[in-house]
Structure 1
Amino acid sequence: MAARLAIRDVGRAMAIPYTTCDTVAKLVPMELDITIDAALERVSELRDLYESDKQVHELLDMARKIEGMPRHTSTHAAGVVITDRPVVDYVPLSMNDDSPVTQYTMTAIEQLGLLKMDFLGLRNLSVIDHAEQMIAKHTPGFKVENAPDNDPDVFKMIASGATEGVFQFESAGMRRVIMQSDPKSIEDLIAVISLYRPGPMKFIPMYVENRKHPDKITYRHPRLSKILDVTYGCIIYQEQVMRIFRELAGYSLGRADIVRRAMSKKKHDVMEQEREYFIHGLKREDGTVEIEGCIARGVDEQTAETIYDEMKSFASYAFNKSHAAAYAVVAYRTAYLKYHYPKEYMAALLTSVLASAGKIAAYMEECSRLNIAVLLPHVNESEQGFSVFENSIRFGLLAIRNLGRGLIQRILSERTMNGPFTTFYDFCKRMQGRDLNRRAVESLIRCGAFDGLGNNRREMLMAVGPLLDQLEDDKRRNIEGQIGLFDFGGEEKIETFEMPKAEEFPKTELLSMEKEVTGMYLSGHPMSPYAEVYNAGIAARFDEIARSAAGESDQYKDEQYVDVLAVVESVKKKVTRSGSAMAFVTLEDMYGSMEALVFPKVLEKYGDLFAPGGSVWAHGRISFTEEKDPKFICEYASAPFSPEEMMIRRRPAPEEKKRDSQKPAAVPESVTPPRGEERPGVQIKGYNTAYKGLYLRVPNAEDPICKKAMQYIEIFDGVTDLYLYYTDTKKLVRAPARYRVAVNYELVSALKKLLGEGNVALKE
């Protein structure tokens, strides 16, 4: 249990307000192995709180007691214990969910001499296999393992940062490092994979600098050059640590491996004992030499001490090169497939994440960047998973809700045996009685799987019930042995169904249907018209906020105020202790989703805007908490303006509208605060600089630029009075109460750009 987590858990148990715990926890530096005691010594603000606030003092004292303890029992991700008799004969077992696990830790299992194997499975290996199968349809016998491992175009793509979907190199942080290091070989990929982990990360600048400027590389001893030349003077791999022990001190392979394990597991007592052996050597009881030592092999004592200390620092985090090499090969092969066979690879990648709508959306965005269209699912062209269709990718049927694998297989078999479906009626007729039900048909309609077969989605949804009922009635009438007397010898009976006629749903409703049955918008996104607004930075992107929260970007900071523009996906209301209602709202923009917290006062004002399926333009702050997704704390909201109007907020006002922009803000020189009942548009006869409010100088109330300014004001509903100075009448009036405003940097900046720097003033 790390320091921050201990503080939060203790605070929860002690019923200390979340804001207090959050404030205290965030004062602990985000560093590996940081302790509460170390934080108190280094962070003066935390120490002051500890000494002055009794509640914080008690919180930290209690958190110290549980710091470093296990928080819960967990199961090793890939560890399997193998014994010759039932495992319970050797160690006690327990159940973790539905799996039997040992009650001893992995280190205790090893010390007992039991065999523990780690079986690591990678989804990416299945992706590669699936992509190979699709490629083999037009390139028989293709295997990526036969591809060259030094393709310069592939390394160029990796170095450019275009690594979405490439194993190990998808995160923004890894992309940054890979672009800095400019890899040219798989050996370079191995090094980057090994370095990009907590601990060795601090050596990345040294590695990059030495790689770019080999003349800056220095070695403590000439013998180190042949060991560290491949990593530009940095100790990165455990195998390098073992070679240093062997080359400089004469260790055997077995002894070097023992020291490597001791260093990697931070066994300080063993490491200090080995220091003596490393420098001065070790003799057996019979007087023979077991370890020669550095001095005996020509390395002076001071240099040996320095090298050993550096090894301790590096080896605590050093990576197993053989493991990193396997990862690097898989990474290179996924990059090779993405570069040379992008359609097949992206289709395989999309199929592998069918259960994750967020991942599918991200990879579909990457397909768009690669100019690969992802087509709607279709009963005549879709396969179970995503598939290549001409120069595009066709959405897979497995990603549609309410469709079982059995029904999908029957659809594929039917169209293979009897040809494609010609109409909506033809599909229902041919698939009748084959696990087909109304919910499944409606899901296919809603996602567009029948588009192009003669009817629009509204018409098919209107027809689905009556059509299935008629087909069922026809089936009952025509069962064996129930043929009517007048059916003999007559003309063949033709079964038909008259489809209703109606106009198609609006585009927004079609998108909503797609989202309902697939978890994503397929033929567009409700926020697509606002792409320029996101690109201009007027609205913050959820994916960029998430990357900042994960430490992969520094674009956004904790507690920073932002504007967001998104679709309301879901709303979950909760009654607080005071009896008021607050809401947890899931918002989604074109790039991701985020949970928004809407507290009672805000919900009371803007609750109508947070309706599922609607869109909202909201202002608030973002909150980063370790081990949790970032949150958006909403402070006010409105319905979005048109994309054109929103772009004006960041666009400089035309020159002809910058009236008196060089003059100081215009307000009368003496003011008396208004008395009596407030009335809309009441004139203020005097002026007092102590009177608080936001002042705008505009030509008159009917001027277009004034109306535009008032639209901005309406977005930020608050408690600050608004005053308008009309230059044509030289009068100052207070705006109606409904125009009271929540003043913030974004609003003031937008108003100054619209009206001119000197025509906006804030009296606080």
Structure 2
Amino acid sequence: MYLNVHSQYSLRFGTMSIAKLVDEAMACGITQMALTDINNSSGIMEFMRACHSSGIKPVGGIEFRRGNTLCYIGIAQNREGMKELNDFLTSHNLEKKELPDQPIAFRHCFVIYPFSYQQPLRDNEYLGICFHELHQLYGKDLSLIKNKLVALQPVVVADKLEYRLHEYLRAIHLNTLLTKTLAADKCRNTDTFMPPGALEAKYGKYQFILDNTRSLLHQCVMDYPKGRVKLNRKTFTGSREGDYTLLRQLAMEGLEYRYGKHHPAALKKVNEELKVIYDLDFCTYFLITKDIIQHTQAKGYYHVGRGSGANSTVAYCLRITDVDPLELDLYFERFLNSQRTSPPDFDIDYSWDERDAVQQYIFNRFGAAHTALLGTMTTFKDRSIIREIGKVMGLPEAEIKGFTDPTQDTANRNNPTFQKIMAVYKLMNDMPNQRSIHAGGILISEEPITYYTALDLPPKGLPTVQWDMYEAEKIGYDKYDILSQRGIGHIKEAVRLIAQHQHTKVDVHDVKRFMKDPEINRHLQSGNTIGCFYIESPAMRQLLCKLRCNNYLTLVAASSIIRPGVAQSGMMKAYIQNFHHPENIQYLHPVMEEQLKETFGVMVYQEDVIKICIHYAGMDGTDADILRRGMSGKYRSKMEFDKLVEKFFQQAKALGREESITQEVWRQVASFAGYSFSKAHSASFAVESYQSLFLKTYYPREFMVAVLNNYGGFYARWLYVHELRKTGASVQLPCINQSQTVVSINGDVVYLGFIGILGLETEWMDRIIQERNKNGHYANLEDFIKRTGIGLEQTIILIRVGALRFTGLSKKQLLWDVHKFLGNKVKPASSPELFQVAAKLYHLPELLNTKLEDAYHEIELLGFPLTLSMFNLLKTSYRGDVRAHNLLAHVGQVVKIVGLYVCEKTVHTKNGKKMWFGTFLDADGNFFDTTHFPNTTPAYPFRGMGCYLILGKVVEDVGFPSIEVARFAKLEIVGNPVME
């Protein structure tokens, strides 16, 4: 009897989750109902699953609205009808068209209009009448519409309490006060499920309306298959056998490329994997991924295949990943096994500026009707909820901040207002707030995707499904992750610059050669890794130095133990100690020594958990991976997990393991599993790190320019300019006759680009370069202004940053002249002049600029000084008693040093207090690190960019020095002469 039910997916309108909605319906004895969320079908598949498990007949639909206006409700007769509704909504979403007053003529749907609708009705169209509208039928001739009337009882909330929540949601949605929401903005407080028989009683005088309603619902059957059915594209070649044949052929070709003609171990592994891939129907998934990789390689794009997919030797042979699973003893079962509950996927990273093209290829290749980006559902969370509630209650900003800011006085949190906020908070927490877009997931469907969802068009510009990855898994989709990162942009741009300026073609995929290069490994061991993906942060550089990391396997381990969970669990400290003193390691059992010798007795990876389960307890790879996932909280059921734990002990006992040792092995396995990180992930990161480090080692200028042009990495832009200068490059300020939009390189000379100038508009960057390319260099300021048509404000920015220094005139002279040309604020025409008329010349006193003035201009417009260093700006000439390079000679001593602030990291101690780690450059341009303990540090020790005088004790940890700070102060710089 319920044709108009809303869940929480009617965003900021409905209050019930799908589960609660079904529970409420069961409590009211409802046997069939239609979910009709507003302008979306996000919950339809979840709704059907919940209804089937509860014995309720589900019907799908969509309520179509323009703002607050109900246009009509579409009710699907079957899955074809659901597709029609999704297609209709999708077309308007993608084309950004307003919904019409009347929809298209559906073939498999019913349409229900509000009772006020006055236009003629088609055969499949009805008028919905609410019980509070029944009085309008009194005394009227109903013969013409008698068969067209159905009962319309909207369901939005569960009870009075949720109606109040609904009011808050509406006020938040409309960005207004609770007291200013109108009745038209909200549902009625009677829009709920009614007790058994109550709804029928409301329509008791109009039995035919109830009969029409039941008849309509009886005609609807959501004929979707029950349970999870694989919905991805089923074949690549047209048949399952054809897919296997092609995949095997490609794998064997790749086997020879990767391992040579005779490699029995690799051949055995590939054959074993191919069987599992075929049995689990994943051939198509591999082939589609290979197709994407092959296309992008042909286009010259660089990619990194990472994630658990790097555990697959077949993927390595197909060049989906550059991680060799045999070399690293990776387990294919970590990626794919018969008992895996969630579908695996490949994570393919591209450069940040190439991913859009890759996604567009996938849409073109597999068809718009069968391809969509994966969505996400953001929820109301934590402090943001309190802020939103406070706003609609009309509370002042200061009071709201007192409720949300943990540093504020908490005394007012006991007042009635805060108690009311928290009551609403509990109801709203984790409710869906808005639909968004997944970081990189793409779905490729066998059937048109609109059988299962309508599509949105977010700012990304590609059709996006209306549910998230978790719902996609439950429905039956395996996603393809096409991701982006700037590290690949660094590599791609560096290779291009090397080819352009050194006429050298670099193969960055020759990673095995890089791993054996002593010069590259020397850079790695010394932590000279600024700009290199994943290994440039202060913590990572410290770890590399502490481990004296000079090889791939150590780097793979470092890439794992640097992660917060592993580091905080104490595993990182244990690894470092055992690394340097392997003779002190005490293994519980010979199997532990055999399997963990590579990682010095410490479990570093998820694969280590699998290893121990297999080799110590005799489990197979599938059970071992399920057990690992279970220990991470990802088991399908507690009972199933407990059975596997029991199996671990039983099989260990059957192998003759001592029970006391097994208990300790299990304790270590269980305690680590929650922190563990995939070795395949770490290996993928390490491969890319070696690619970056190769470029930094042998082509440092091109590499650092590439880093700058791809918006840097961990650090501020100025530090990468500093690194560029260390390569011997002569870094020049932007110049209108030399610079491009981005940083450009010509031999030893590097010009900063226009894009780094604060306040310079993109339009003028492009016009300056286009005009220069067309008609040659600018002769002087007047020529520049006439040819570009640039205005006064933008020209002043270019003068002050030094971009017209080629004229030989000082900035002050140029500023005088530009006001002479443009001071009347009338732009000169940018078209060619018929006659060249020389401007009148005036004799002025010599106007000179100082380097100090230039430095202040650069700080303002570039964010950092280039003409002078920050050390040159200090009022004091004191640079400390020691320098970074000889700190180890002063271990245990209290020293003074002056450092230029690079970055900081805040951490919380076990008792909740804050402490900091700082990174600085000394006057020689070398790095050093500081530790600031709570008892010696003010609440906010750092005061931003600048130089600091640091007093502290030099300490050493495994050969790496740092300073434990006792006193710390920012040093004054010389004032801006223009302001004095």
Which band: TM-score by shorter chain?
A: 0.5 to 0.7
Tell me by how many angstroms 1:552 deviates: 4.3
The match for 1:461 is 815
Choose the corresponding residue for 2:753, options 390, 396, 413: 396
The match for 2:547 is 181
Choose the corresponding residue for 1:171, options 533, 537, 548: 537
Instruction: Please say if residues 515 and 521 of structure 2, whose CA atoms lie closer than 8 Å, have aligned partners that are also in contact.
Output: no
Instruction: Please say if residues 459 and 500 of structure 1, whose CA atoms lie closer than 8 Å, have aligned partners that are also in contact.
Output: no
The match for 1:138 is 502
The match for 2:642 is 272
Instruction: Please say if residues 532 and 693 of structure 2, whose CA atoms lie closer than 8 Å, have aligned partners that are also in contact.
Output: yes
Provide the C-alpha distance between the structure 1 equivalents of 2:608 and 2:587, rounded to a whole number of angstroms. Answer: 14
Q: Counterpart amino acid of 1:144?
A: V
Tell me by how many angstroms 1:257 deviates: 3.2
Tell me by how many angstroms 1:395 deviates: 0.7
SS state at 2:479 partner: strand
Choose the corresponding residue for 1:158, options 510, 513, 524: 524
Tell me by how many angstroms 1:183 deviates: 0.9
Q: List per-residue Cα deviations over 1:327-368 (Å, max 9, x = no partner).
A: 1111122222222222111111111117x9972122223345
Flag the structure with more relative contact order, 1 or 2, with Cα contacts below 8 A and sequence separation at least 6.
2
Provide the C-alpha distance between the structure 2 equivalents of 1:550 and 1:132, rounded to a whole number of angstroms. Answer: 41
Change in Cα spacing, 1:263 to 1:90, as seen in structure 2 (3 Å) is farther
Instruction: Please say if residues 605 and 676 of structure 2, whose CA atoms lie closer than 8 Å, have aligned partners that are also in contact.
Output: yes
Q: List per-residue Cα deviations over 1:72-102 (Å, max 9, x = no partner).
A: 7675433334434454543577788778766
The match for 1:78 is 440
Deviates more, 1:495-504 or 1:180-189: 495-504
Provide the C-alpha distance between the structure 2 equivalents of 1:111 and 1:494, rounded to a whole number of angstroms. Answer: 76
Q: Counterpart amino acid of 1:279?
A: F
Change in Cα spacing, 1:245 to 1:67, as seen in structure 2 (3 Å) is farther
Provide the C-alpha distance between the structure 1 equivalents of 2:385 and 2:553, rounded to a whole number of angstroms. Answer: 43
The match for 1:126 is 489
Q: Counterpart amino acid of 2:848?
A: E
Provide the C-alpha distance between the structure 2 equivalents of 1:10 and 1:234, rounded to a whole number of angstroms. Answer: 44
The match for 2:602 is 234
Q: Counterpart amino acid of 2:648?
A: F
The match for 1:330 is 688
Provide the C-alpha distance between the structure 2 equivalents of 1:500 and 1:321, rounded to a whole number of angstroms. Answer: 73
Q: Counterpart amino acid of 1:350?
A: L
RMSD: 4.8
Q: List per-residue Cα deviations over 1:663-710 (Å, max 9, x = no partner).
A: xxxxxxxxxxxxxxxxxxxxxxxxxxxxxxxxxxxxxxxxxxxxxxxx
Instruction: Please say if residues 578 and 601 of structure 2, whose CA atoms lie closer than 8 Å, have aligned partners that are also in contact.
Output: yes
The match for 1:352 is 710
Change in Cα spacing, 1:239 to 1:521, as seen in structure 2 (3 Å) is same
SS state at 1:148 partner: helix
Tell me by how many angstroms 1:451 deviates: 0.8
Provide the C-alpha distance between the structure 2 equivalents of 1:591 and 1:260, rounded to a whole number of angstroms. Answer: 49
The match for 1:556 is 932
Change in Cα spacing, 1:75 to 1:263, as seen in structure 2 (3 Å) is farther
Choose the corresponding residue for 2:945, options 574, 589, 598: 589
Instruction: Please say if residues 463 and 499 of structure 1, whose CA atoms lie closer than 8 Å, have aligned partners that are also in contact.
Output: no
Unaligned residue ranges in structure 2 (runs of 5+): 1-380, 391-397, 881-895, 908-913, 919-929, 950-968, 976-980
The match for 1:659 is none
Q: Counterpart amino acid of 1:170?
A: E
Change in Cα spacing, 1:564 to 1:313, as seen in structure 2 (3 Å) is closer
Instruction: Please say if residues 443 and 478 of structure 2, whose CA atoms lie closer than 8 Å, have aligned partners that are also in contact.
Output: yes
Instruction: Please say if residues 172 and 552 of structure 1, whose CA atoms lie closer than 8 Å, have aligned partners that are also in contact.
Output: no
Provide the C-alpha distance between the structure 2 equivalents of 1:641 and 1:511, rounded to a whole number of angstroms. Answer: 12
Instruction: Please say if residues 12 and 18 of structure 1, whose CA atoms lie closer than 8 Å, have aligned partners that are also in contact.
Output: no
Provide the C-alpha distance between the structure 2 equivalents of 1:8 and 1:519, rounded to a whole number of angstroms. Answer: 32
Provide the C-alpha distance between the structure 1 equivalents of 2:532 and 2:578, rounded to a whole number of angstroms. Answer: 26
Provide the C-alpha distance between the structure 1 equivalents of 2:747 and 2:521, rounded to a whole number of angstroms. Answer: 28
Change in Cα spacing, 1:475 to 1:153, as seen in structure 2 (3 Å) is closer
Q: Counterpart amino acid of 1:529?
A: L
SS state at 1:318 partner: coil
Q: List per-residue Cα deviations over 1:188-237 (Å, max 9, x = no partner).
A: 11111111112211301111111111212333332333432221122222
Q: Counterpart amino acid of 2:445?
A: T
Q: Counterpart amino acid of 2:684?
A: A
Change in Cα spacing, 1:224 to 1:104, as seen in structure 2 (3 Å) is farther
SS state at 2:848 partner: coil
Provide the C-alpha distance between the structure 1 equivalents of 2:509 and 2:915, rounded to a whole number of angstroms. Answer: 34
1:198 aligns with 2:541: no
Instruction: Please say if residues 463 and 500 of structure 1, whose CA atoms lie closer than 8 Å, have aligned partners that are also in contact.
Output: no
Deviates more, 1:462-471 or 1:168-177: 462-471
SS state at 1:353 partner: coil
Instruction: Please say if residues 536 and 714 of structure 2, whose CA atoms lie closer than 8 Å, have aligned partners that are also in contact.
Output: no
Change in Cα spacing, 1:275 to 1:563, as seen in structure 2 (3 Å) is closer
Instruction: Please say if residues 373 and 392 of structure 1, whose CA atoms lie closer than 8 Å, have aligned partners that are also in contact.
Output: yes
Counterparts in 2 of 1:185-264, with a 5 A limit?
185-201=551-567, 202=569, 203-264=571-632
Change in Cα spacing, 1:532 to 1:21, as seen in structure 2 (3 Å) is farther
Change in Cα spacing, 1:264 to 1:376, as seen in structure 2 (3 Å) is same
Deviates more, 1:335-344 or 1:124-133: 335-344
Q: Counterpart amino acid of 2:812?
A: R
SS state at 1:393 partner: strand
Provide the C-alpha distance between the structure 2 equivalents of 1:516 and 1:217, rounded to a whole number of angstroms. Answer: 56
Instruction: Please say if residues 916 and 933 of structure 2, whose CA atoms lie closer than 8 Å, have aligned partners that are also in contact.
Output: no
- Give percent identity, aligned residues only: 25
Provide the C-alpha distance between the structure 1 equivalents of 2:629 and 2:828, rounded to a whole number of angstroms. Answer: 74
Q: Counterpart amino acid of 1:450?
A: L
Tell me by how many angstroms 1:444 deviates: 2.0
1:498 aligns with 2:841: yes
Instruction: Please say if residues 399 and 518 of structure 1, whose CA atoms lie closer than 8 Å, have aligned partners that are also in contact.
Output: yes
Provide the C-alpha distance between the structure 1 equivalents of 2:731 and 2:432, rounded to a whole number of angstroms. Answer: 44
Instruction: Please say if residues 442 and 481 of structure 2, whose CA atoms lie closer than 8 Å, have aligned partners that are also in contact.
Output: yes
Provide the C-alpha distance between the structure 1 equivalents of 2:810 and 2:820, rounded to a whole number of angstroms. Answer: 16
Provide the C-alpha distance between the structure 1 equivalents of 2:656 and 2:546, rounded to a whole number of angstroms. Answer: 38
Choose the corresponding residue for 1:90, options 443, 446, 452: 452
Provide the C-alpha distance between the structure 2 equivalents of 1:67 and 1:236, rounded to a whole number of angstroms. Answer: 39
Change in Cα spacing, 1:371 to 1:638, as seen in structure 2 (3 Å) is closer
Q: Counterpart amino acid of 1:375?
A: Q
SS state at 2:509 partner: helix
Counterparts in 2 of 1:570-585, with a 5 A limit?
none
Q: Counterpart amino acid of 1:504?
A: L
Instruction: Please say if residues 514 and 691 of structure 2, whose CA atoms lie closer than 8 Å, have aligned partners that are also in contact.
Output: no
Provide the C-alpha distance between the structure 1 equivalents of 2:602 and 2:751, rounded to a whole number of angstroms. Answer: 47
Provide the C-alpha distance between the structure 2 equivalents of 1:272 and 1:68, rounded to a whole number of angstroms. Answer: 32
The match for 1:383 is 740
